[in-house]
Amino acid sequence: MDFELRSLRGVATDALASLAEAVFGRGERAPGWFARKLEREGVDLDLSVLAVAAGATEPVPQDMLFGYFLLGQDPSDRIAHSAGLGVIAARRGGGLGRALVEAAAVRLAPAGYEALRVLAEPEREAFYARLGLVVTARRLTLLAHGTCPISHVRWDRELADQAKQPWSPAPTNGDPLEVCAWRPGAWARTPPALAATLEPMPGVWAHVSREGRALLVQRMLVARGIEPVAAVAALLARTPASMPLLLYGVDPVSSITAALLRSDVVEPSQELAQHCGEFRVAQRFAAMDLALPRRLDNFRSGDG
CATH number of the domain to which 46 belongs: 3.40.630.30
Q: Which residues contact 129 (CB under 8 A, 6 or more apart)?
A: 288
Q: Is 50 in contact with 65 (CB distance < 8 Å)?
A: yes
DSSP letter for 118, please: E
Residues 6+ apart with CB under 8 A from 75: 185
Residues 102 and 152 occupy one common structural domain = no
159 and 272, same domain (yes or no): yes
Residues 147 and 238 in one domain: yes
Tell me, yes or no, whether 92 lies in a domain: yes
| Structural domain of 99 | 3-113
- Specify the pLDDT at position 126: 97
Report yes or no on 71 lying in a domain.
yes
- Tell whether 45 is covered by a domain: yes
**Residue 162: which residues within 8 A CB-CB, separation 6 or more?**
196, 197, 198
The total number of structural domains in the chain stands at: 2
* DSSP letter, residue 274: G
Pair 13, 73 in one domain = yes
Residues 81 and 187 in one domain: no
Asked, for residue 15, whether it belongs to a domain, the answer is yes
Q: Which residues have C-beta within 8 Å of that of residue 64, sequence separation ≥ 6?
A: 52, 53, 56
Residues with pLDDT less than 70, the chain? 1, 170-173, 263-277, 294-304
Q: Which of 219, 136, 216 is nearest to 184 (CA)?
A: 219
Kindly state whether residues 94 and 49 are assigned to the same domain. Answer: yes
Q: Tell me if 95 is assigned to some domain.
A: yes
pLDDT digits (tens, 9 = 90+) for 21-58: 999 987 777 788 899 899 989 999 999 999 999 998 88
What pLDDT, on a 0 to 100 scale, did the predictor assign at position 171? 64
In this structure, the answer to whether residues 78 and 169 fall within a common structural domain is no
The predicted pLDDT at position 272 comes to: 45
Whether residues 280 and 170 share a domain: the answer is yes
192 shares a domain with 96: no
109 and 186 in one domain?
no
Residue-wise pLDDT for 260-271, tens only, equals: 998 544 443 444
Going from the C-alpha of 209 to that of each of 91, 291, 302, the distances in angstroms are: 35, 32, 54
Query: Would residue 291 count as lying in a domain?
Result: no
Dihedral of the CA atoms 103, 104, 107, 110 (nearest 10)?
Answer: -120
Whether 178 is covered by a domain: the verdict is yes
Same domain, 87 and 160: no
DSSP state of 271: G
- Is residue 199 included in any domain, yes or no? yes
Based on the fold, state whether residues 257 and 167 are members of the same structural domain. Answer: yes
CA distance 29 to 58: 28
Task: Give the DSSP H or E segment for 107.
Answer: helix 96-108
Q: Work out the number of other CB atoms within 10 angstroms of the CB of residue 126.
A: 9
